[in-house]
Amino acid sequence: MSDLDQPIKLTSFSHGGGCGCKIAPGVLSEILKKSSGFPVPKELMVGIETADDAAVYKLNDEQALIATTDFFMPIVDDPYDFGRIAATNAISDVYAMGGTPIMALALVGMPINKLPLETIGKITEGGAAVCLEAGIPIAGGHTIDSVEPIYGLVVMGLVHPSKVKRNADARAGDVLILGKPLGVGVLSAALKKDKLDAEGYAAMIANTTKLNKPGKALAQLDGVHALTDVTGFGLLGHLLELARGAGLSAELEMDRIPLLPGVEQLAHEGFFTGASGRNWDAYGHDVELGAGVKETGRILLSDPQTSGGLLVSCDPGSVDEVLALFKRDGFEHAAVIGRMAEGTARVKVA
């Protein structure tokens, strides 16, 4: 029996899955340390300075172009679901800038001699289905023969220059709101060890394939000051980027943070990704955990979120409107989780 005749388990091809594949924050910082010497045109509204979700280039007084790319190895074994998750994750960066996606290019790397063409086709079909839901075409792309399966998108979008929502514009006194529950990395770790039940898998797929469409409407609110999405660096990592960009401190309330069903117990049983530990090693020195925060809480706060939720920093008077926009689009778990305050760029968790 050849490799192509064996039952396909996509996650067995990858050393890491989803946004857990990201290079650790500390290592990435070293890599990018010498990347800031090139000329920056005045039209470039958002570049690499604050590790934002996408680049933004001003075209004219009415339009700015958003450009982003995201790709990774399989986080699930079902090829169609893998394609959906990867596409949803990539498109999220446009929503996180407050924009409207307009077009995508597919990035496809596959071990051609090990995966049936039908399986590869299902991956790309899953990605195309999400793009259809987002109302954009896949207008091209690039394919290579690679050792591990890789799929993702380059996504472009448009936004009015005055409505761009950066991750660096939070203000002291802002309220923090999270759009999706945490725990995707924990569920993926359990899945890889065949310890995730059907209910847990369904919750994971529902969470990771839900497009962050409220981003565009949130960008129209003057009271929304900063916006980002929570992905591979976990809630703490992306919140620290927000805090550092604004020169502020962030405060979280652990018991208000929404979690996917069953993830606390799974984390307690030892199901978590290596990326969670790498994340904590990179930024744990800038996090103050309260006495009541358990080890499972620390794991979940640094848990890599594939296609995670939007993190909003808004003035207190806009909280009800922000939550209403989330609820309108079916984000029932959206919740107030903390606030921004004057102080050193750190995160305090109570």
One-character DSSP codes across 88-138: HHHHHHHHHTT-EEEEEEEEEEE-TTTS-HHHHHHHHHHHHHHHHHHT--E
pLDDT classification of 40: cutoffs 50, 70, 90: confident
Tokens of 342: 């004057």
Q: Does residue 20 have a pLDDT over 70? A: no
Is 19 known to be catalytic?
Answer: yes
The residue ranking higher by pLDDT, 39 or 84, is 84
Sheet with 44-46: strands ordered across: 44-46, 55-58, 64-72, 150-159, 100-110, 138-145
Q: What is the mean pLDDT of the chain?
A: 92
In our burial notation (b when 16+ CB lie closer than 10 A, e otherwise), range 140-155 reads eeeeeeeebbbbbbbb
Tell me how far CA of residue 228 lies from CA of 50, 62, 82, in angstroms.
Answer: 11, 22, 23
Contact indicator for 211, 134 with CB cutoff of 8 Å: yes
Q: What mean pLDDT is predicted for residues 317-327?
A: 98
**Among 15-29, 87-101, 243-257, 322-336, the least confident range:** 15-29
Q: Supply the pLDDT for residue 48.
A: 85
Rg of the chain on CA atoms, in Å: 19
pLDDT classification of 4: cutoffs 50, 70, 90: very low
Distance CA 212, CA 214 (A): 6
pLDDT classification of 50: cutoffs 50, 70, 90: confident
First to last CA, the chain: 56
Q: Does residue 25 have a pLDDT over 80? A: no
* Predicted TM-score (pTM) of this structure: 0.91
pLDDT classification of 13: cutoffs 50, 70, 90: confident
Q: Supply the pLDDT for residue 68.
A: 96
pLDDT classification of 39: cutoffs 50, 70, 90: confident
Residue 174 carries which DSSP code?
P
**Using one digit for the tens of pLDDT, what is the confidence trace for 191-218?**
989 999 999 999 999 999 999 999 999 9
Q: Supply the pLDDT for residue 150.
A: 96
Q: Does residue 160 have a pLDDT over 70? A: yes
Tokens of 231: 């992905």
Q: Does residue 32 have a pLDDT over 80? A: no
